[in-house]
Structures are given as C-alpha cells and as structure tokens.
Amino acid sequence: MDDVPNASEVRPPSFAHNAERMIPAPQLRSRGSATQLVVDGAPFLILGGELGNSSASSPESLSAVWPRVVAMGLNTVLLPVYWELIEPEEGHFDFTLLSIALAGARAHGLRLVLLWFGSWKNSMSTYVPSWVKTQRSRFPLAERTDGSRMEILSPFSEENVRADSRAFAALMRRLAQIDSRERTVILVQVENEVGMLEEAADRSPVARASFSAPVPSGLLARGPAGTWPEVFGERAEEAFMAYHLARYVDRVASAGKAEHPLPMFVNAALNRPGRVPGEYPSGGPLPHLFDVWRAGAPAIDFLSPDIYLPGFTRWCEAYRRPGHPLFIPEIANGPAAASQVFCAVGQYDAIGFSPFAIDTMADAAAAALKDSYGLLRELAHHVLDNQGTGRMGGAILDSEGPASEVRLGGAVLTLRHDYTFEWSGPARETTPWPTSGALVVATGPREYLVAGSGVIVTFADEERRRPLGFLQVDEGRFAGTHFVPGRRLNGDETHQGRHVRIPFGKCGLQRVRLYDY
C-alpha cells in the first residue's frame, strides 16, 4: 500500500468525461494510522446500504431500488450477484442483470459493491447453479461424522473450487470489459458469511485425512511445527476449517483479480459470546481467526463484520487494525444505524457503512439515516482529510454506555447521551435509551466540529483538566468546504456556557470555538 499525502474531498461519481481518460482502479492506501479507500484517485467514504437478498434478481425489482436509495442519500449500493443466474448452464454465462445494475447505478450517480453469492451464502450452498446441485458426486458436500450430508459445498474439493473460480473469473472478466472506464464497481465481496453451521467442521473422509496432516508451514510464522491440535489446542478444528475456507476463497478471489483487480473482502457472521463453533459459522473471518484468514487468503484485502449483535464498538475495534480498514457491509437497519455511522466514521476511520435490506428499511429509521448521510456528505472532506491523523473521534451513547471521553487537539471532550441532561427528566426514565451518536473533529487551535444527534459535549483542557469556555458556538452546514453559520447558540442552548448540545432526534452540526477563562 502506498502513502497518500493528502486526502481531498469526497466526490460524487462523475462519468461525463471518463470516455477520454482512464480512471485509476479503486485501491486501498495507508494514511497515518488509517487505511483509506481511494476511488477515482481520491479518498472516498462509502455511505451505503445493502439490498435485500433477492432484490437484484429481476430488472423490475432493481428499477424500484434506485429512486429509494437516491432519496436516502446513499452514494453506494451493495448488490448481490448470483452464481445460479450468471451460469444457469455450465460454461454458459448470462450477464444481463449485471449490465442492468451498472446502467441503473450510473444513471443515478451511484457506486456499486458487488457481493458474490457463489459457493457459500450464510454458510449454505443454496446459490450454486442447478447443475452443481444435481451432480453430487462431482461437487461434494461437507459431511457430518455419521456420513450424512450438509447443504454446504466441501472446501476440500478441487472440482468445487475450480467451478466457482471459473464463474467468478468470468464475472470479473465481463466487469473489466464494461467497467474499466467508468469504475462504477469499487469493491467486491467474495462469498457471503462463510463458515460451518450445525457442525464445527467438515468431517468427510477427505477432510479428516487433511486434519491429520501437519499444519501448513505458511500458518506457523510464530511457532513450532505440529498437528492442528498441537498448534491450536481446543480451537484446532475451527482453525483448520478457517484455513481451508480461506484457501478456497483465496483461489476464487485470485481468479477474479487476474481478470479485473479490484479490492476484495469477506464478511463475517459474528460469534455470539458463549456459543460454540457450529452454533455460529465456524471458521468464518472472525476476530479470533484473523491471523489464520490473513495467512490463508492473501488475495483478500480485508475482513469485515456484519453487525447484528450488541457490542458495536467492540466489533469495530476488533476489525480496525493496523494496515486494515474497518468496513461495515451489513448492520441491523433499525434506528440506531443513523447514530452508529458517526461513531464508525469518527472513531474508527471506517471506509464505509451499510445497513442491510436498505430497500425495505422502515420509514422512521430511513429518515434518520438520510439525515446522517446528508450531514456526512457535507462533512466528507473533513472526515477524509482527518482519517488516521488523531484529530477525529466519535462515540455512540445509550443506557449501557451513556458517556464517552475523546482526547483531541489538547482537550478532553466528554460526550454524554442527551437523556443524561437534567432538563430531560421524563425521557431519562425510559429504558433502554435509544442509541445516539456523534463525530467530533479538531479543526484548529481550540476549534471543533460536533456532528450527530442526541449528544451533549463538555470540553476541558487536557493538561490542567479545567473546563474550557465557549468563545462562540454556531449551528451551521457546509457549502462545499465553506462553513455557513446559522443560529449563534448561547444561553439555554449552551446551558449558560457549560456544554454544547444536539438534542435527541435532531441531526445537527455545530462549530465550537473555545477559550481558557
């Protein structure tokens, strides 16, 4: 990865003059402590949403999607492409839906992230074409100990990985033909939520033979050679499956990259604490299997969490690593998403955020997300300029974690849920509190931007721990890079100089200038 000297403003896709010039391929680049997504040569923030599983399977259904997602302020749609529809007969490919998706996205100024529903989707192999499903001895399934089959292609079959790789390569070859100029597709997810369900491992004879072999040397960078149980102890079977799933995915991804080299990632169905492998998708790209996946699938650029469980910040921390960005391809599409996006982007330098089933999101949650995305579009230049610099932070706040501290620009910022504010007495009694969230940026000496909703922020000098006073607090919005102030906030609106506040249910931006009194 190269270093990017300076991030610049996020730009909506512009295709007008692309025919005359080659646009560089999307790529990942490091900047300070962050990894940025670079699209059309400039850092890019994915304000996305993932379509429901079947929404991209007919032209009519797809055409209904575009106006809705545009109205919600998305700049990117995560869209499945289905092996069963792309290769209905072996070796005969149909890319009609792909062309329609690209045309629709371009007509609406949107980027796409393709999701390859190939060998595995939510562990299972239901998206493989009929000719794969009906040739069982040629395309073997994983087996339980008693020899019964699971509807999961075995990762130990050469024929399985070859068939998937051929189809994925054909998809990427077509994409190279129809998208090398416009670059509408900026990322590709390979498979979907890979992992073994019901059983922790494939226990077919070929899998068992492989399990009794020594751990491959590529996985032993930090330790002595040995068998899977010797090297991985209690986690041996899961690590073994993770490695072989990763190797398979790596073959598929490499075949695709050879045709059209886009950044590629995998997504994880997270492991609920207290569950054992097989109760959650065993061997998926999970935090405790990160090293195994990185070693097994070097063609995969990053691993991503699908966040449907509690513990949002813990999952973000687990996936944002040195040289490895946080991208959230799926998150529950409830009202919390509109706040979580500020935290993901501000605190964890996320390259993108994408609630699941965006096309059927409930109206109130969709309206809140639209407000957040609208504000983040205005702020994108600040966000992208400050990724990896230590000048940006964020938090989510709820009844479990009603306050959070962020240290930025020589000050300690304490962010509290709006319900902690004494004037909001009745709301405080409501539990659980709805999630609120904010992003903060240090924009100059003693100057900050606060964006989000349902948040109260106090400021103290970091060294002396003394409260700082407000020189000026302005509500406002950005027109390009220019801050356009609205109301000057003071009096009750700053609690007589004690805090800034963006009330719950209102998405807002304030510029805060501080002084030492």
Q: List residues binding ligand DGJ (CB under 6 A).
A: 53, 122, 192-193, 306, 330, 356
Query: Please, which residues have CB within 8 angstroms of residue 113's CB and are 6 or more apart in sequence?
Result: 46, 48, 76, 77, 78, 79, 185, 186, 187, 188, 189, 329, 354
Go through 277-310 and write b for each residue having 16 or more CB atoms within 10 A of its CB, e for each that does not. Answer: bbebbbbbbbbebbebbbbbbebbbbbbbbbebe
The residue nearest ligand DGJ at its CB is 193
Nearer to ligand DGJ, 331 or 413 (CB): 331
Burial class (CB in 10 A: 0-12, 13-18, 19+), 2: exposed
> Are the CB atoms for 345 and 387 separated by under 8 Å?
no
Nearer to ligand DGJ, 56 or 500 (CB): 56
Rounded Cα distance between 170 and 151, Å, is 25
Nearer to ligand DGJ, 122 or 227 (CB): 122
Nearer to ligand DGJ, 154 or 192 (CB): 192
Rounded Cα distance between 330 and 337, Å, is 10
Nearer to ligand DGJ, 264 or 457 (CB): 264
Which pair of tokens denotes residue 190?
């390979």
**Which residue pairs, CB below 8 angstroms and at least 24 apart, start in 423-429?**
424/504, 427/504
CB of 250 to ligand DGJ, least distance (A): 20
In sequence order, the β-bridge partners of residue 331 are 307
Query: Please, which residues have CB within 8 angstroms of residue 41's CB and are 6 or more apart in sequence?
Result: 23, 24
Nearer to ligand DGJ, 191 or 418 (CB): 191
What is the H or E stretch that residue 487 is in?
strand 482-488
> Are the CB atoms for 389 and 381 separated by under 8 Å?
no
Rounded Cα distance between 516 and 428, Å, is 32
Rounded Cα distance between 194 and 177, Å, is 29
CB of 121 to ligand DGJ, least distance (A): 7
Nearer to ligand DGJ, 155 or 195 (CB): 195
Nearer to ligand DGJ, 287 or 402 (CB): 287
CB of 411 to ligand DGJ, least distance (A): 40
24, 215, 231, 403, 426 from 500: Cα distances, Å: 42, 56, 53, 14, 21
Query: Is the torsion defined by CA of 200, 201, 202, 208 positive or negative?
Result: negative
Nearer to ligand DGJ, 193 or 199 (CB): 193
CB of 373 to ligand DGJ, least distance (A): 21
Rounded Cα distance between 486 and 488, Å, is 7
CB of 80 to ligand DGJ, least distance (A): 8
Rounded Cα distance between 270 and 267, Å, is 9
Nearer to ligand DGJ, 157 or 192 (CB): 192
Nearer to ligand DGJ, 194 or 343 (CB): 194
Rounded Cα distance between 327 and 320, Å, is 8
CB of 193 to ligand DGJ, least distance (A): 4
CB of 462 to ligand DGJ, least distance (A): 41
CB of 359 to ligand DGJ, least distance (A): 13
CB of 52 to ligand DGJ, least distance (A): 8
CB of 330 to ligand DGJ, least distance (A): 6
Which pair of tokens denotes residue 323?
């040289």
CB of 82 to ligand DGJ, least distance (A): 12
